[in-house]
A and B are shown apart, each in its own frame.
Chain A
Amino acid sequence: MASNWPILSLLIWLPILGGLAVIAVGDNRAQLARLLALVVSAATFVLSIMLFTGFDTSTAAMQFTEFKPWIETFSVNYSLGVDGFSVPLILLTSFFGVLVVIAGWESIQVKVNQYMASFLIMEGLMIGVFSALDALLFYAFFEAMLIPMFLVIGMWGGPRRVYATIKFFLYTFLGSVFMLIGLIYLYTQSGSWSILEWHQFPLELSVQKWLFLGFLAAFSVKIPMWPVHTWLPDAHVEAPTGGSVVLAAIMLKIGGYGFIRFSLPITPDASAALDWLIISLSLIAVVYIGFVALVQQDMKKLIAYSSISHMGFVTLGMFIAFGVFQNTESGRGAALGVEGAMVQMISHGFVSGALFLCVGVLYDRLHSRMIADYGGVANTMPWFAALAVLFFMANAGLPGTSGFVGEFMVILAAFQANFWYAFLAAVSLILGAAYSLWLVKRVIFGEVANNQVAQLEDINAREALVLGTLAVAVLLVGLWPEPLVNLMHVSVDQLLQHIQQPKFSAAGI
């Protein structure tokens, strides 16, 4: 109906300007701020649905493109577009945009307008990251996004919030400045900031390796990979529920998206040459961090470590492609790996977001995140327990839930690359089940542990709405992943074809 709207610009700027409007509402009219934020985020979600329905899944070309010169002197452009990789992530972002507003409805009571505005602005910036086709524009969104998150953790976070938020900011900032140098270098070589042109730009292998490491510095911190993951448990634990949700559900995905948009296509040969590095780091994350998660006393920390472990699957799925190419003729397994990684990102978005919301529900009541403070919650909160068990099962990769699909695809693909990769990845399924189910056993099942738990009230309509929606999403992706896979299928094929072409031979070396 409205095919000629600048829909991506609307998706970016509507929440940002809406956020500014929410700030303008002022401190003392909290209810108005909440309502306005809800309207803006809902409108953004509707827009993203329009993006989804208007998206043509038969082509890998960028769609809904917009192009305006930004800094003409250095050929920087305001250039937007989406393909099969960005659309699902944009949908995820705008979906959670609505949820975090609802989730913060009652639990946030101070500076409500600033809280809501931070999330709206962050949402716009994250959608910008997923749709930018100009590297400087991407970088601007990528960095600017840190500011609202910095404020969210620092203002509404837990007791060690200042430490956590400064660590979060500096860690990410440090990673991304190396990428900035890489981006500037690419510009000086190619004379353009267009990411798509860089995909075709020939580079020597040694140069590619440096660039790859630059990208790795930025994205490995963001996703995060072992050993640069240490900011994440701190940030997650201290952040307010909404902050944890956005951090886990979307921000981590930006790291994975960066690998797909930058590392793989711009430096394919370096990715092939250094895939052992990523694969080993991923496997360490999957296995070692799985063990770390097992011993956590704090629910949020456990989920944070579980996130790192799950993100290991994402990086593994992306980088086993090269091993698969070597071992098999068809390379079909490579597509399975990348698609699995993408599905895993979406699924982990739903699941981890839901888990943090579950912890938030408990925390709002008892003001504790410690596992030891709970026990037998199912007796007093049956509805909550049912949903929470579903999400923890999804976290453990139970078939039928979304968590299963991505992990299964990645493991299948890993078999085609190397048996031991698949073996180690599969081991982590056991670990995942162990820490998830053990948590369920200690918190939800069993006898009522103490008086406080005995007095818990079950979730109210608002919480039921949030968790219920997520439960539907988790089951939907788990039972019927085809629409999601279809969305990205063509883009994945094109990416895989692209990364098989060596770039440096074209450089005449």
Chain B
Amino acid sequence: MNTTNMLLATPELWVLTMACVILIVDLFLSKERRGIIHGLAMITLIFAAIITLRGNFIGDSASAELAFNGSFIRDSMGDVLKLFSFLVMGLVYVYAKFCLREFRMFRADFYTLSLFALLGVMLLISANSLVMVYLGLELVSLSSYALVAYDRDSRLGSEAAMKYFVLGSMASGMLLYGMSMIYGATGTLDLYQVSDAIQSMDSNDPLLIFGLVFLVVGLAFKLGVVPFHMWIPDVYQGAPVATTLFIASVPKMAAFAMAFRLLQTGMGELHTDWSQMLSILAVLSIALGNMAAIAQTNIKRMLAYSTISHMGFVLLGLLPGTASGYGAGMFYIIVYSLMSAAGFGMVILLSARGVEAEKLDDFKGLNQRNSWYAAVMAMVMFSMAGVPVFVGFFAKWLVIKSAIDAGLMWLAIVAVLFSVVGAFYYLRVVKLMYFDEPVTESRIDAPVDFRAAISLNGIMMLGLGIFSSSLIAVCMASFGG
């Protein structure tokens, strides 16, 4: 096997190059012409997608290929997740451009930082060794910390960034500590070799189990599941909404990939151990996320708790350790990213000059102000609540199916019960938009690309639901299920 094939990493190299190019180009641009940066970023994404797709035609898409001495892997799951990262990132840029302009924060830093974060996401998705996982993770995290503090004058933002940084570093430390233990126990960093090594040793080795526990803690923090969720509401609320939009969507796909690589590829032999841990995390997240969201009056915090519960559902897909379970989890995370992007996109849309529309009451009477945007938000909310035929239903259906397949009936029942609880606060948003009188009559205005993107994103909720077949097939095929 040719394990030094750098061409496999072409999309990553392209994004890296372009991030540097943007960094330099910005030096020579006057304030008025910063739109070029946005254009360059979009071109970066489009070509990254094209390169990834071409790679699929050149290589054999079914089998995985390794590069960089086995620490980088190109496989079908990675490609699909990367493609969706580009798509969601494109939506993020379109939404963010409008928002940053409104808030007079339209600088190139947002683009460079988020492109580096995207690079981290891609590396994380393709990581096949513990070191690469850590590298990718840190690249995402460090860029995100800076993005949270992007609005220098905001006290909330700085506080959130500080909190995120301290807690995030601790989680990274935990993860690193766990990795070192696993390295100590198996003598290798390569995930394939870790898996081989575990097969030939006593699976009750305390070093190994401790390593696993620390890994799961680190993972849980990055996914944001209970009880490692504390940072999420504060960061979501404190960060500028453009950053929240990013943090809530793209890196989650990387976190899913990281969980798959570490737990299945590396520690698949210890499935019984980690699936128990994950089931506790899943139940707690689904329960607490859905219940705490009810009490929120700030839409960013509400969506934060909703994220926590969604991540619980993703774990539900991961924990059976079956191909169809991973496929379900992957479908869920992709769908979640799209829903989340649309949700925060709507928050941006309603933000009037310099004031974020972060109160739930800002959605009051939206149907009377503009019935199409109200319909978009309603579709997002019904999708998040898991009402058919919106795509969120199919995501929930698949993970619940995989849990029932694995004989975890009680988990499935807990999950559906709390999704009914969750339906309440999503319905409340619909109620505010449709049944209440508007508090302001100001016109909702946005540039044409924004309107196109949010409309497309909303229609996806319905379209991907009715025509969910091919995406489900792709996700399942990624794991040979």
Contacts and interface: CB of A to CB of B under 8 A. Distances in A.
B427 A139 contact: no
B473 interface: yes
Contacts of B68: none
Contact of B393 (A72, A143, A146, A162): A143
Given A143-B393, A154-B435, A181-B400, A174 B472 contact: no
A482 to B, nearest CB: 39
B177 interface: no
Interface of A: 23, 27, 69-74, 111, 114, 136, 139-141, 143-144, 146-147, 150-151, 154-155, 161-162, 165-166, 169-170, 173-174, 177-178, 180-181, 184-185, 187-188
A307 B367 CA distance: 33
Interface in B424-439: 424, 427-428, 430-431, 434-435
B400 A73 contact: no
Contacts of A170: 420, 423-424, 427
Given A154-B435, A188-B405, A166 B412 contact: no
Contacts of A69: 469
B388 A188 contact: no
Contact of B435 (A140, A162, A169): A162
B401 interface: yes
Max chain B C-beta neighbours (<10 A), residue from A27, A74, A136: A74
Given A73-B473, A139-B388, A140-B389, A180 B431 contact: no
Contacts of A151: 430, 434
Nearest to A146: B387
Contact of B476 (A73, A147, A155, A169): A73
B384 to A, nearest CB: 13
A144 B404 contact: no
A140 B389 CA distance: 6
Contacts of A147: 382, 387
Given A147-B387, A181-B400, A184-B401, A173 B393 contact: no
Given A151-B434, A170-B420, 17 more contacts: A23-B371, A71-B394, A72-B469, A73-B473, A74-B401, A114-B367, A136-B397, A144-B388, A146-B387, A147-B387, A150-B427, A154-B431, A154-B434, A170-B423, A170-B424, A174-B417, A174-B420
B332 to A, nearest CB: 15
B338 to A, nearest CB: 18
Interface string B385-408: 001110001100100110011000
Interchain residue pairs A-B with the least CB separation, the first 9: A140-B388, A177-B416, A154-B435, A71-B469, A174-B420, A143-B388, A140-B389, A73-B473, A184-B401
Contacts of B423: 169-170, 173
A366 B184 CA distance: 83
Nearest to A153: B435
Contacts of A150: 427, 430
B417 A143 contact: no
12 contacts: A73-B476, A114-B371, A139-B388, A143-B388, A144-B389, A173-B420, A173-B423, A177-B419, A180-B400, A181-B416, A184-B404, A188-B404
Contacts of B416: 177-178, 180-181
A69 B428 CA distance: 36
B378 to A, nearest CB: 8
A178 to B, nearest CB: 7
B194 to A, nearest CB: 31
Counting contact residues on chain B (CB < 8 A from A), the size range is 20 to 34
A87 B55 CA distance: 53
A416 B387 CA distance: 43
Secondary structure call for the B interface: helix
A178 B427 CA distance: 20
A52 B12 CA distance: 62
Contact of B468 (A71, A114, A180, A181): A71
A180 B405 CA distance: 14
Nearest to B372: A23
Contacts of A181: 400, 404, 409, 412-413, 416
Interface of B: 367, 371, 382, 387-389, 393-394, 397, 400-401, 404-405, 409, 412-413, 416-417, 419-420, 423-424, 427-428, 430-431, 434-435, 468-469, 472-473, 476
Contacts of A111: 367
Contact of B420 (A114, A136, A154, A177): A177
Secondary structure call for the A interface: helix
Nearest to A161: B435
Contacts of A155: 434-435
Contact of A185 (B404, B417, B424, B473): B404
B401 A188 contact: yes
Contacts of B409: 181, 185
A381 B469 CA distance: 57
Given A147-B387, A181-B404, A181-B416, A166 B472 contact: no
Contact of A70 (B388, B397, B430, B469): B469
A178 B415 CA distance: 11
Contacts of B404: 181, 184-185, 188
A74 B434 CA distance: 36
A165 B431 CA distance: 9
Nearest to B421: A170
Contact of B417 (A23, A154, A177): A177
A396 B228 CA distance: 61
Contacts of B382: 147
B435 A143 contact: no
Contacts of B371: 23, 27, 114
Nearest to A169: B427
A144 B469 CA distance: 18
B364 to A, nearest CB: 13
Given A161-B435, A177-B420, A178-B416, A184 B400 contact: yes
B472 A74 contact: yes
A354 B472 CA distance: 46
Contact of B387 (A27, A143, A165): A143
A116 to B, nearest CB: 14
A508 B423 CA distance: 42
A23 B397 CA distance: 30
Contacts of B420: 170, 173-174, 177
A162 B428 CA distance: 9
Max chain B C-beta neighbours (<10 A), residue from A23, A69, A136, A143: A143
A166 B427 contact: yes
A177 B424 CA distance: 14
Contacts of A140: 388-389, 393
B286 to A, nearest CB: 13
A166 B424 contact: yes
Contacts of B472: 71, 73-74
A180 B387 CA distance: 12
A144 B420 CA distance: 15
Nearest to B388: A140
A225 B301 CA distance: 39
A192 to B, nearest CB: 14
Contacts of B435: 154-155, 161-162, 165
A166 B468 CA distance: 28
A180 B420 CA distance: 13
A177 B419 CA distance: 9
Nearest to A187: B401
B417 to A, nearest CB: 7
Nearest to A142: B388
Nearest to A27: B371
Contacts of A71: 394, 468-469, 472
A173 B418 CA distance: 11
A18 to B, nearest CB: 17
Contacts of B388: 139-141, 143-144
A217 to B, nearest CB: 11
A151 B417 CA distance: 23
A170 to B, nearest CB: 6
A289 to B, nearest CB: 26
A188 B420 CA distance: 23
Contacts of A187: 401
